[in-house]
């Protein structure tokens, strides 16, 4: 009996030893092994930004879209119906001697001006405008130049209770006044169709009164853009 107990004890010790040996082998086999290869290094150079730096433009700055004005602007009718007469209503009068137009007129003094390759150019040297309040004064005639004056005239049929009288207003005169009110001292203007020697009124309708809408004035003016 004693031998049997010893045998059993020895068997148990053997089994425990065998189990312990198996546990060590499993632990050894399951532990991670050191990598046999070194970390891979990139063979490609670092990527650069896909956006390239802007290159200096080889194009010259675009020219201004604004077109240069021609030296001589578009010609318009120049209202001239009388010479050296400051008494007519709705008239455009040129004075070569003395300005005799009244206070309810625009008076413009023109002196000869030099512009290369152009003739009949004059510069405005004085303006007085009394259309709204009758405060205009006469101006001196420049040497070699002239004074031009204009007034609207009255519409007497609309003023008089009985509708009598002459209507001195006209589209030609009113249009010229609108242009003249934009003129300034220092402006240069080229004229055509003026006879400052013989003082001939520039018209194709000499038998028609100047205040009639059918009256035609052939003189013109054009601004100089210098």
CA atoms within 13 A on the CB side of 188: 15
pTM tops 0.75 = no
Domains of the chain by residue range: 82-186
Question: Please, which pLDDT band fits residue 22 given cuts at 50, 70 and 90?
Answer: very low
Is the model more confident about 6 or about 101?
101
How far apart are alpha carbons 220 and 80 in whole angstroms? 9
Asked if 213 and 168 touch (Cβ cutoff 8 Å), the reply is: no
For residue 23, what pLDDT band results from cuts at 50, 70 and 90? Answer: very low
CA distance 161 to 156: 9
Return the pLDDT at 164. Answer: 98
Among 28-37, 47-56, 101-110, the range with the most confident prediction by mean pLDDT is 101-110
The contacts of residue 75 (CB under 8 Å, 6+ apart) are 192, 220, 221, 222
- Which pLDDT score is estimated for 43? 45
Q: What sign does the CA torsion over 110, 112, 114, 118 have?
A: positive
DSSP string, 9-63: HHHHHHHHHHHHHHHHHHHHHHSPPPPSSPPPPP-SPPPPPSSPPPPPP-SPPPP
110 or 58, which is more confident: 110
Q: Mean pLDDT across the chain, nearest whole number?
A: 83
DSSP-derived pairing of the beta strands 92-95 and 121-129: unpaired
Which of helix, strand or coil describes residue 171?
helix
Q: Which pLDDT band, with edges at 50, 70 and 90, does 198 fall under?
A: very high
Residues 6+ apart with CB under 8 A from 144: 111, 112
| Longest pairwise C-alpha distance within the chain | 172
**Side-by-side strand order, sheet with 106-112:** 76-77, 220-223, 188-192, 121-129, 106-112, 146-150, 92-95, 82-83
Task: State residue 34's pLDDT score.
Answer: 38
């Amino acid at each position: 009996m004693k031998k049997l107990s010893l045998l059993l004890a020895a068997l148990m010790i053997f089994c425990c030893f065998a189990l312990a040996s198996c546990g060590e082998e499993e632990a050894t086999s399951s532990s991670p092994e050191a990598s046999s290869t070194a970390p891979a290094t990139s063979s490609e150079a670092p990527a650069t930004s896909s956006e390239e730096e802007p290159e200096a433009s080889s194009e010259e700055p675009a020219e201004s879209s604004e077109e240069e004005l021609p030296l001589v602007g578009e010609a318009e009718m120049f209202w001239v119906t009388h010479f050296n007469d400051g008494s007519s209503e709705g008239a455009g009068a040129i004075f070569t001697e003395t300005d005799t137009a009244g206070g309810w007129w625009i008076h413009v003094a023109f002196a000869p001006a030099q512009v290369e390759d152009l003739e009949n150019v004059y510069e405005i040297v004085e303006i007085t405008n009394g259309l709204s309040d009758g405060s205009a004064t006469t101006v001196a005639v420049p040497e070699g130049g002239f004074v031009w004056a204009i007034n609207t005239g009255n519409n007497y049929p609309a003023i008089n209770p009985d509708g009598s009288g002459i209507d001195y207003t006209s589209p030609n005169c009113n249009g010229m006044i609108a242009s003249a009110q934009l003129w300034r001292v220092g402006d240069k203007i080229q004229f055509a169709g003026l006879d400052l020697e013989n003082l001939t009124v520039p018209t194709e309708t000499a038998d028609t009164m100047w205040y009639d809408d059918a009256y035609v004035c052939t003189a013109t003016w054009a601004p100089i853009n210098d």
